Amino acid sequence: MQRMLMKVVTDFALDAKMRFDDNAEFRQKDLFALRDWSQENMQEVEAAKFDLNYIALDGSIGCMVNGAGLAMATMDIIKLHGGDPANFLDVGGGATVDAVREAFKIITADPKVHAILVNIFGGIMRCDVIAEGIIAAAKELNIKMPIIVRLQGTNVNEAKELIKKSELRILPKDDLDEAAMLSVHLAQIVHLAREARLDVSFEIPPEYHI
């Protein structure tokens, strides 16, 4: 008669990473309540409160875009012109003025940011709502760094008129390539000025908006 020896093996996981679909939160409240916010980037936590998809990066050009695909393309074209994006920020298709204002608070909280590039294609999203949010944020936060804005789509003419009347440091560009190139160059100027401990003031002549 043969004897069979059975060995019990116990495996231990020293680390694990799990991803949860935010859309399932309404039916998995107990599970989502276990989330440890202290382990996350505070800017990303604030962004989540306004349904903003934000990921911090190491560059100097803050980005605000609607749509993940357009956000990736915007980051790529910044890299193409020799710049580095400071973040991935997708405001989605239903952003409000308050959400846009909060997006700017999050972007400008990063001390590495020297310029901001906004790239919006308005389908469901209205460009004038984005413009109102940008103007409100620029005034409330007293943003001194250059803001380059490329808006296309729904109510774009109304948005451009709002920006023109604001008389703020907001530079409109219709072409994405030109907008990205300008953001890279201006970010470099601000970076050099900060290194030299100089204050750079950007003034936009009235004819720039024509």
Question: What's the confidence (pLDDT) of residue 20?
Answer: 80
Does residue 98 have a pLDDT over 80?
yes
In a domain? residue 34 = no
Number of domains in the chain: 1
In a domain? residue 83 = yes
In a domain? residue 168 = yes
Give the residue, 3 or 21, on which the prediction is more confident.
21
In a domain? residue 5 = no
In a domain? residue 75 = yes
Range of the domain at 126: 44-196
Query: Average pLDDT, stretch 95-106?
Result: 89
Question: What's the confidence (pLDDT) of residue 178?
Answer: 96
Kindly list the strands in the beta sheet with 170-172, ordered across the sheet, starting from the edge strand earlier in the chain: 53-56, 87-90, 61-65, 115-122, 147-153, 170-172
Q: How far apart are CA 50 and CA 106, in angstroms?
A: 11
In a domain? residue 201 = no
Alpha-carbon distances, residue 170 vs 26, 47, 153, 191, 207 (angstroms): 39, 23, 19, 18, 13
In a domain? residue 32 = no
Residue with tokens 């116990």: 10
Question: Mean pLDDT across the chain, nearest whole number?
Answer: 87
CATH of the domain at 120: 3.40.50.261
